[in-house]
Structure 1
Amino acid sequence: MLEAVIFDMDGVLIDTEKFYMRSEQQIVAEYGIDVPASHFTKYCGTTQDYIWQNIKDEFNLPASLEQLKEIAPIYLEKLFDTEGVTMIDGIPELLAELSASPLKLAVASSTKQALIHKHLSSIGLSDYFDVMESAENVKHSKPAPDVFLKTAELLGVNPENCLVIEDSSNGVKAAKNAGMVCIAFKNPEFPSQDTRLADLEVTHIKDITLARCYQLYDQTVSGK
């Protein structure tokens, strides 16, 4: 029985993935490396440790992991402050509909806990959620299932009774590794990611409704 819907934050609730990719692009540019922002799509949905260790290795950057992690928020916050964080189209309507149902709602994001609260509070979304959990509080980041399993535990529900809404390949893998039903939001404004493991792919949040969540969950579970 479906008991909870768990949202990724960046790229699902709020339009921030572009800022992460651009900040990563800007930082490697400081070392004379010219790559498009879309190059960093593969890191969407993962933690800062994972991102910067892999970028450091990929481009053989002379800075330490700690140095990269220290400067990354400076570039990122500048983009947030100058351009602002906005909701993904359709999210207010979806949250209003889901919150009027018996379902529990949560956020499970690779973003740091403080930033999750800051972003969602600033645009008036935090009150919709029973739990807002960060992958910084678990051992392994997405595509490992840890953050989704921890979120289900905090909600007091079994993982198999959860439906996840994700936008990244790593996030979809994490949801499926957790044994959860998953909807992939493929935003046409961003570079496409491989989300074929999801139980449903949509190109607009408005394609997701309470009825469709229940229907997808029942179809997926009955097909197992």
Structure 2
Amino acid sequence: MIKAVIFDMDGVLIDTEPLHYRCWKEILKEHYDVEFDYDIYLPCIGSTRQFFRDLVKAHYGVDFPDLDEMNRIMKVKKSQIVKAEGFPEMPGVENALKQLKEMGYKLAVASSSPESEIMDAMTRLGLMPYFDSITSGDHVEHPKPEPDTFLLAAERLNVPTDNCLVIEDSTNGGRAALAAKMDCVWLHNPHSGHQDIPNAILEIPAWTEDGIEKLVKLIQEM
């Protein structure tokens, strides 16, 4: 029986992957005169800033001063774009959260993004009241694709792992759910690039009425 639903954030609750790539592309061009290739960026989806930092150093020789400075630069760039163009919402996601909350399920965010960015995004979009806990990659030693982020989220909800369902859009997230021994639903977001979650028990393309109905039906039958 499912008692809790744990959501990834980027690409699931908010459509941020195109925004993140654009931010890093502009940052690397402005600060280091590097043309950042999208194929190089793809493995970063669902992973942490440290992974991104290591990858950029390996491919381009760019060594950000430290994670705090890297996060500061990203925050400034992201704020500039969001202020000018608005936050990239996922249409229909609030309907899904509202239905699940009204049905009595505990809800959590478990994301590789820094805690400050999770809190900012959920607050800006008015989604914070739906969630019982927030878990960031900052909170664990081994982030996705390791299971630690999801395991900590379940612990904070006080719900056994076999009573939790994960909603993910990335290969790394799917692997983390599998390692945590949690069933996973794949929100197949085309903006998240070439991802694959072969262990997903359901695939939905978006938070449409049909997609939400399929998710609710699945949860009720589990």
TM-score of the superposed pair, with normalisation by structure 1: 0.88
Q: Does structure 1 residue 14 correspond to structure 2 residue 20?
A: no
Cα offset, 1:190, TM superposition: 4.2
Residues 99 and 80 of structure 1: is their aligned pair in 2 closer, same or farther, counting only changes over 3 Å? same
The percent of aligned pairs where both chains have the same amino acid is 36
Cα offset, 1:167, TM superposition: 0.8
Residue of structure 2 equivalent to 1:178: 180
1:205 is paired with a residue whose SS is: coil
Cα offset, 1:122, TM superposition: 1.4
1:24–1:72 CA contact under 8 A, matched in 2: yes
Counterpart of 1:74 (choices 49, 54, 76) is 76
- Larger deviation: 204-213 or 140-149? 204-213
1:52–1:69 CA contact under 8 A, matched in 2: no
Q: Does structure 1 residue 101 correspond to structure 2 residue 107?
A: no
The one-letter code of the counterpart of 1:129 is F
Residue of structure 1 equivalent to 2:164: 162
Residue of structure 2 equivalent to 1:43: 44
Q: Does structure 1 residue 212 correspond to structure 2 residue 213?
A: no
What does 1:11-160 align with in structure 2 at a 5 Å threshold? 11-30=11-30, 31-37=32-38, 39-66=40-67, 68-160=70-162
Cα offset, 1:200, TM superposition: 2.1
Residues 77 and 56 of structure 1: is their aligned pair in 2 closer, same or farther, counting only changes over 3 Å? farther
Residues 9 and 64 of structure 1: is their aligned pair in 2 closer, same or farther, counting only changes over 3 Å? same
Cα offset, 1:189, TM superposition: 4.0
2:111–2:149 CA contact under 8 A, matched in 1: yes
Distance 2:108 2:64 in 1: 36
Superimposed CA distance per residue, residues 133-187 of structure 1 (whole angstroms, 9 cap, x where no aligned partner): 1110111111011110000000001111110101111111111111101011111
The one-letter code of the counterpart of 1:88 is M
2:53–2:63 CA contact under 8 A, matched in 1: no
Cα offset, 1:115, TM superposition: 1.8
Superimposed CA distance per residue, residues 53-85 of structure 1 (whole angstroms, 9 cap, x where no aligned partner): 221122112544445444333323322322221
2:165–2:184 CA contact under 8 A, matched in 1: yes
Number of residue pairs the alignment of both structures matches: 216
- Larger deviation: 121-130 or 37-46? 37-46
- Larger deviation: 139-148 or 41-50? 41-50
Residues 190 and 151 of structure 1: is their aligned pair in 2 closer, same or farther, counting only changes over 3 Å? closer
Superimposed CA distance per residue, residues 87-114 of structure 1 (whole angstroms, 9 cap, x where no aligned partner): 2122111111101112111111111112
Cα offset, 1:202, TM superposition: 1.8
Task: Give every structure 1 segment of 4 or more consecutive aligned residues whose post-TM-superposition deviation is greater than 6 Å.
Answer: none
List runs of 5+ in structure 2 lacking aligned partners. none
1:54 is paired with a residue whose SS is: helix
2:11–2:191 CA contact under 8 A, matched in 1: no
Distance 1:24 1:13 in 2: 21
1:186–1:192 CA contact under 8 A, matched in 2: no
Distance 1:58 1:160 in 2: 39
Distance 1:72 1:53 in 2: 16
1:146–1:178 CA contact under 8 A, matched in 2: yes
Residues 115 and 212 of structure 1: is their aligned pair in 2 closer, same or farther, counting only changes over 3 Å? same
